[in-house]
Amino acid sequence: MRLRFDESVEAFRAELLDWLAAHRPSAEEMAADPSISTGHAPDWARRWTRQMFDAGWLVPGWPPELGGRNAGPIETLVYIEELARAKVPRTTNVQGLGIVAPSILDYGSEAQIRDYAMPILRGEKTACLGMSEPGAGSDLAALSTRAVLDGDRFVINGQKVWTSGANYADFCFLFCRTDPDAPKHKGISIVLVDMDTPGITVRPLPEIIRPEHPDLNEVFFADVVVPAENLVGEMNNGWAMANGSLAHERGMVWVSGVMSLEESMDRLRGELPAITAGLTPAERAVAIDRVVELTIDTTAARCLGYRGFAKLAKGGSAPEQALMKLFASEVRQRIALVGAEVQGAAAIEVGAVDMDGHLSVDEPQGTWLEQYFHSFANTISAGASEIQRNIIAERVLGLPRS
Amino acid sequence: MDFEFTDDQLELRDNARRVLASACPPSLVRSVYEGGGGADDLWATLIGLDWPAIGVSEEHGGLGLGFLEAAIVVEELGRVVAPSPFLATVTQLAPMLREAGSPGLLAGIAAGDCTGTLALAEGGAWRTDAVHTTARRTGAGWVLHGEKSHVLDGASADEVAVVARLEGTAGDDGLGVFLAAGDTLSAQPRPVIDPTMPVATVTLEGAEVGGDRVLVEPGEPGAAPAIARALQEATTAMALSTTATCRAIFEATLQYAKDREQFGRPIGSFQALKHRLADMYLAVERASSLAYFAALTIAEDDDRRGVAASMAKAAAGDCQRLVAGDGLQLHGGIGFTWEHDLHFLLKRAKSGDLLFGTAAAHRAQLARMLGLAA
Ligand SMILES: Cc1cc2nc3c(=O)[nH]c(=O)nc-3n(C[C@H](O)[C@H](O)[C@H](O)COP(=O)(O)OP(=O)(O)OC[C@H]3O[C@@H](n4cnc5c(N)ncnc54)[C@H](O)[C@@H]3O)c2cc1C
């Protein structure tokens, strides 16, 4: 156990910071042409992703031909931390770079890698992730969108919902039922579907905050024809791939979530003297106590992350990792809630804080009350908190299934 | 940056756990609870294994291991509710001696020849600004007046480091530390809910301390920081101990939830309990992570040690609040009995929270350190 990084890691950090200082898009450039959906990549974002790819800074853990430099996990952790500190996203298409591209690289054909994965890495295409359906949310394996193999093509019918970025994405990483007779986990396949294919209708679903820029969508498929070669991996093996593809960089990405908690707490502590100025001493003491408690939570999130990471980096299993999503998303929610409550009546005013250039579910933006509502994105998506508790209880603690 | 123990440290932990499984079984704790003996034998065993020497440097007759190793032992002792002078001697008196730059007694501690404690708190507050005990110079020595509360092992320790201040001073000014032999002090043991954490009220009405027993000269420039640093170490150790006790409660409860059947199935298959167990687990990991962070800041003498110690102690308090309550509730009636061993853990966890500052007291302290409150 120790608190500092090795010199070689610090040298890596210094090299990254130099490169970022010389090449990063400016805050003004990003704000002038903001990304308005996770499927939308403004020109600066496309250029920037390409630049990172060419310089081997896009996914440092990967080899140079995939936009990396064969960096180790500790370097990757430092990399993610520094990007978050610099407030510059690698991509605005988080699900494309984080989940879709790695999955295609792992399981896809050469042609799929060439036509779908590499264009994401070079900032040329964006992808959306079509998993959830009206009847299949937490119980994802209950999905019913059908893909029927008909000679050398699939015919797809059904509906997805909550598909982030589908209103702008170039293609969809689509989970479909290909064997309705098999047990529900065994009849699912993944198909790559270009979003301009006839028969697809996208209906944006304006969100609880910022309805003018919807990121969520309903996507309807009516006799959509897709070449059979767009099947990713093996037929009916989609469920196993879903679990594999969510694991990429999972040991490291927590740190950007922690950094956004720290950023929020810096803001809250900074605002505290002004927003508590009108309170009685007793009221102020209560407010301060709640802010301190969240400061402890935020520090705990970082330490918990480091503990899990240390075990992973040594090749062990890290139960702490299972706790991170649950803990960080709930802390985020409490920070925003306490911010609004401490602020008092002024918290109901909207538009008081500018949104910046890019969107992401990790990004705390807007007033405290806006952030509070937005924070449910993290406690609901990617396995709601209740599902996380089930997973911890059953898989980590070994409690019997209900 | 590395938050995992080294192989040597993990081995130390395994050894400590093995030793305590036979040297400190629940029957020993029960014996102490019921007025029987056994604690002295345990201490003799630990001395035989050189445990008191763990945090002491080699030049002072110790093993030269660091705070992380001491932390590991503290955790293992907390896990089994060990009735032992270790916590007060090694994590309260020894750091004060070291910070005071008076290594005289450290060799004695390392050898197991003497036990000790730190008498700081007054009126249940472990803050130096709450110290009202006065020190007055008389010829070659000093005379102390005041009352110290909640002195761990206060009625049995061989040596007591007493924090006092010059008359007419306040805050950080005028503080000093004096070493008093336990048998010269008037110590009233308090009847406490957890006899493995015995505390005493130490009354100093004209207690005399020789000039050669001044650990920190009152008013010396480095006095307040030295006391603060020793207190951070003691506080972190109490957080580690309490969190380890909480982990033991959690593990016992988890096992019980798997074994106990009702309505034809293990109670741990009910989602209401699963979610509570997941939250207990999170509370334990949250507190552990912060306790290790605090231990690291002490081991590496990092600037954040004051903040980290208070965070660790606050988190240990939060943790026991959830884990002790849910641990008892999930055991049902059996956990409510004297015969079941669970209550030893529960009471140790409560004592550990309430001694050296509750979660709320440390949050208030943090508010000052973070510049949020005056
Ligand atoms: C901002 C955002 C972005 C998203 N992006 C995408 C995307 O890009 N692609 C995509 O496919 N999906 C996406 N989703 C969908 C997301 O994965 C689902 O919302 C999530 O899986 C929950 O499903 P549901 O909304 O149907 O809620 P339900 O599953 O109906 O859950 C409702 C409530 O019941 C609880 N619950 C359900 N089952 C259990 C159980 N077994 N035990 C205890 N409690 C239970 C849940 O925790 C929740 O509180 C996104 C969602 C959000 C909010």
**pLDDT band at A357, cuts 50/70/90?**
very low
Identity of the amino acid at B107: A
Give me the pLDDT at residue A24, please.
Answer: 96
pLDDT at A112: 98
Going by alpha carbons, the residue nearest to atom 19 of ligand 1 is A381
State the DSSP string of B12-48: HHHHHHHHHHHHS-HHHHHHHHTT---HHHHHHHHHH
| Rounded alpha-carbon distances, angstroms, from residue A349 to A274, A365, A368, B124 | 16, 14, 10, 45
pLDDT of residue B18: 98
Residue in chain A lying closest to B258 (CA): A399
- Cα–Cα distance, B248 to B21 (Å, whole number): 13
**Catalytic hit among A249, A263, A271, A330:** A249
Q: Which domains does chain B have, with CATH numbers?
A: 7-114 (1.10.540.10), 118-220 (2.40.110.10), 224-369 (1.20.140.10)
User: Which pLDDT score is estimated for B223?
Assistant: 95
Which chain A residue shows the shortest CA-CA distance from B4? A1
Are residues B362 and B317 in contact, defined by beta-carbon separation less than 8 angstroms?
yes
In this complex, is the C-beta atom of A392 within 8 Å of any C-beta atom belonging to chain B?
Answer: yes
pLDDT in tens, chain B (374 residues): 789 999 999 999 999 999 999 999 999 999 999 999 999 999 999 999 999 999 898 988 888 889 999 999 999 999 999 999 999 999 999 999 999 988 889 999 999 999 999 999 999 999 999 999 999 999 889 999 999 999 999 999 999 999 999 999 999 999 999 999 999 999 999 999 999 999 999 999 999 999 999 999 998 999 999 999 999 999 999 999 999 999 999 999 999 999 999 999 999 999 999 999 999 999 999 999 999 999 999 999 999 999 999 999 999 999 999 999 999 999 999 999 999 999 999 999 999 999 999 999 999 999 999 999 98
Q: What is the pLDDT, as a whole number, of residue B175?
A: 97
Range 226-255 of B in CB contact (< 8 A) with A: 254
pLDDT average, residue stretch A75-104: 93
Mutate to test the pocket of ligand 1, among A138, A373, A378, A392 (most ligand atoms within 8 A of CB): A138
pLDDT digits (tens, 9 = 90+) for B167-178: 999 999 999 999
* pLDDT score of A314 more than 90: no
Tokens of A179: 């064997």
Ramachandran angles phi, psi of B123, nearest 5°: 60, 30
Chain B touched by A122 (CB under 8 Å):
no
Mutation target vs B (from A78, A387, A391, A397; most B CBs, 10 A cutoff): A397
CB < 8 Å to A399, chain B: 254, 257-258, 266, 268-269, 274, 277
Test B271 with A289 for CB contact under 8 angstroms.
Answer: no
Name the packing angle between helices B342-354 and B26-33 (round to 10°): 70
Q: What is the pLDDT of residue B103?
A: 82
Does ligand 1 have an atom closer than 6 angstroms to the CB of A137?
yes
Does residue A246 have its Cβ closer than 6 Å to ligand 1?
A: no
The string of DSSP letters for A266-314 reads HHHHHHHHHHTTTS-HHHHHHHHHHHHHHHHHHHHHHHHHHHHHHHHHT
- What is the separation of C-alpha B345 from the centre of its chain, rounded to a whole number of angstroms? 15
Q: Do residue A1 and residue B299 have CB atoms under 8 angstroms apart?
A: yes
- Among protein residues, the one with the nearest Cα to ligand 1's atom 11 is A131
| Nearest alpha carbon to residue A308 among A294, A328, A293 | A328
Position A236: which residue type? N
β partners of residue A157: A146
Q: Cβ contact (<8 Å) for B366 and A2?
A: no
Strand B159-166 relative to strand B214-216, pairing: unpaired
Residue A117 burial (CB count, 10 A): 23
Write the pLDDT tens digit of every residue in A179-230: 999 999 999 999 999 999 999 999 999 999 888 889 999 999 999 999 999 9
Mean pLDDT of A55-65: 97
84-113 in A: which are within 8 Å (CB) of B?
A: none
Kindly state whether A275 is in contact with chain B, defined as any CB-CB distance less than 8 angstroms.
no
CB contact under 8 A, B363 and A296: yes
Q: Known catalytic residue: A249?
A: yes
Q: Is the dihedral of CA B155, B161, B167, B169 positive or negative?
A: negative
B275 contacts on A by Cβ (under 8 Å): 386, 389-390, 393
Give yes or no for residue A251 having a pLDDT over 80. Answer: no
- Phi, psi (5° rounding) for residue A303? -65, -40
Closest C-alpha to B99, from B215, B219, B234, B240: B215
Q: Does A293 touch chain B (CB under 8 A)?
A: yes
Nearest to B286 by CA among A363, A3, A293, A74: A293
Q: Determine the residue type at A385.
A: S
Q: Report pLDDT for A350.
A: 86
Q: How far apart are CA A29 and CA A89, in angstroms?
A: 13
What's the gap in Å between A381 CA and the centre of ligand 1? 5
Q: Predicted confidence band at A362 (pLDDT cuts at 50, 70, 90)?
A: low
Q: Which of B219, B68, B58 is nearest to B137 (CA)?
A: B219
pLDDT tens-digit map of A363-398:
667 899 999 999 999 999 989 999 999 999 999 999
Domains and CATH numbers, chain A: 7-92 (1.10.540), 127-236 (2.40.110.10), 251-396 (1.20.140.10)
B252, containing H or E segment: helix B223-259
Question: Which residue from B254, B286, B363 is facing A292, i.e. has the nearest CB?
Answer: B363
CA-based Rg of chain A, rounded to a whole angstrom? 22
- With the C-alpha atoms ordered A336, A338, A342, A347, is the resulting torsion angle positive or negative? positive
**How far apart are the CA of B44 and the centre of ligand 1, in A?**
58
Residue A393: CB atoms within 10 Å: 27
Pick among A296, A323, A324, A392 to test the B interface (most B CBs inside 10 A): A296
Ligand 1: atom nearest CA of A132 is 11
CA distances (Å), B182 to each of A59, A366, B40, B84, B150, in order? 63, 61, 18, 17, 15
Query: Ligand 1 pocket, A135 CB below 6 A?
Result: no
Between the CA of B272 and the centroid of ligand 1 the distance, in Å, is 20
Measured in angstroms, how far is the CA atom of residue A209 from the centroid of ligand 1? 18
pLDDT digits over A91-139, tens only?
999 999 999 999 999 999 999 999 999 999 999 999 999 999 999 999 9
* B290 close to A (CB below 8 A): yes
Q: Does B13 touch chain A (CB under 8 A)?
A: no
pLDDT range class, residue A283, cuts 50, 70, 90: very high
Question: Ligand 1 center to residue A168 CA distance, Å?
Answer: 22
Sign of the CA dihedral B313, A293, B349, B292? negative
Is B68's Cβ below 8 Å from some Cβ in A? yes
Tell me which DSSP letter residue A133 carries: B
Q: What is the mean pLDDT of residues A56-64?
A: 96
Tell me if A169 CB under 6 Å of ligand 1.
Answer: no
Contact B284/A320 with Cβ under 8 angstroms? no
Residues of A in contact with B299 (CB under 8 A): 1
Residue A244 Cα to ligand 1 middle (Å)? 19
d(CA A379, CA A377): 6
What pLDDT, on a 0 to 100 scale, did the predictor assign at position A354?
63
